[in-house]
Amino acid sequence: MLAFVVRRLIQMIFVLILVSFIAFSLLHIVPGDPAVTMLGEEASQAQIDALRHELWLDRPFIVQYFRWFTNVIQGDFGTSITYREGVAGLVISRLPVTFHLGLLSLIISTLISIPAGVLSAVKRGSLLDSIITVSANVGMAIPSSG
């Protein structure tokens, strides 16, 4: 049993590294320059180059990744390009609202889905069952706007 847990923990580390690499890579695929986004279109090329150097954007991709990864392991998630504040602070400041919205969504969906499921089970094969089933499937198929 201990060998199984250790093996799973090692696999988890590799998966986390792979996912972090993919996520970091996706950020580099997106068009646009973060330095231009931070400074604005009216910034001079010298200012853009200086900020790119400060943010390590002028270094090779793999160097950028390892620097970012070591900072993340140490708890430094960097600075938001949009807000120019620490990412960790931004996430923490928004956790109460996120928790509140998630809890409210859970309560509302539970209050709707349990009675609908019971009704659908009691009236199995009826028009009401079909309407509930189709509504549930349509609700699951609609993409979230997040």
At residue 71, the pLDDT reads: 92
Above 80 in pLDDT, residue 138?
yes
At residue 35, the pLDDT reads: 84
C-beta neighbour count of 132 within 10 angstroms: 19
Residues pairing with 86 in the sheet: 79
Beta-carbon contacts of 116 under 8 Å, excluding residues fewer than 6 positions away, are 132, 135, 136
At residue 139, the pLDDT reads: 86
pLDDT (tens digit per residue) in 48-107: 899 889 888 899 999 999 999 999 999 898 888 778 888 999 999 999 999 999 999 999
pLDDT (tens digit per residue) in 5-53: 999 999 999 999 999 999 999 888 888 888 888 888 888 889 989 988 9
At residue 36, the pLDDT reads: 85
Distances (CA, A) of 111 to 127, 137, 141: 22, 17, 20
In the chain, where the domains are located: 1-76, 86-141
Structure tokens given for 128: 């009401």
At residue 146, the pLDDT reads: 55
At residue 28, the pLDDT reads: 83
Output phi, psi for 79, to 5 deg.
Answer: -115, 135
pTM: 0.62
∠ Cα 8 10 16 (to 5°)? 100
Above 60 in pLDDT, residue 131?
yes
Q: Choose among 112, 111, 133, 129: nearest CA to 121.
A: 129
